[in-house]
Amino acid sequence: MSAQRAHDHRLQCKKRIRSRIHGTALRPRLSVYRSLVQISAQLIDDESGKTLLIASSKEAKAPFTVAGAKQVGVLLAKKAKKIKITSVIFDRNAYKYHGRVKALADAAREGGLQF
């Protein structure tokens, strides 16, 4: 599969997922982004179009590994508790639920978030 075709396929998957997922102020959307050098997650209120909080591997000073993704998940859960958010909707952003994405989600669950 060519690079452009793979990119288009990922965008189609992302669009399909986002058509079914919608975050609110009480239950925001936990969106995961994985780049080549870091992983980040943010809680988004889609009704008002605002990002409530962000946690990244750069902020957590974590390596770009499964262990680093776990640190980001724990950091995100701590920040969410401070603003009294306990329940979220998980948006994997067309990434497979495997490896770093799964580690971040599991760590956020262990930190107290429900999804």
User: Taking the model in full, what pTM does it have?
Assistant: 0.86
Task: Pull the structure tokens for residue 30.
Answer: 């936990």
Coil/strand/helix, residue 60: coil
pLDDT tens digits, 48-97: 999 999 999 999 999 989 999 999 999 999 999 999 999 999 998 888 99
CA distance 93 to 100: 13
- The two structure tokens encoding residue 93: 């952003």
Residue-wise pLDDT tens digits, 7-50: 888 888 888 888 888 888 889 999 999 998 999 999 999 999 99
Domain ranges for the chain, please list them: 3-110
Q: What is the pLDDT of residue 1?
A: 64
For 5, counting Cβ atoms within 10 Å of its Cβ (0-12 exposed, 13-18 middle, 19+ buried), the class is: exposed
Which numeric CATH code is attached to 3-110? 3.30.420.100
Closest Cα to residue 105, out of 63, 58, 55?
A: 55
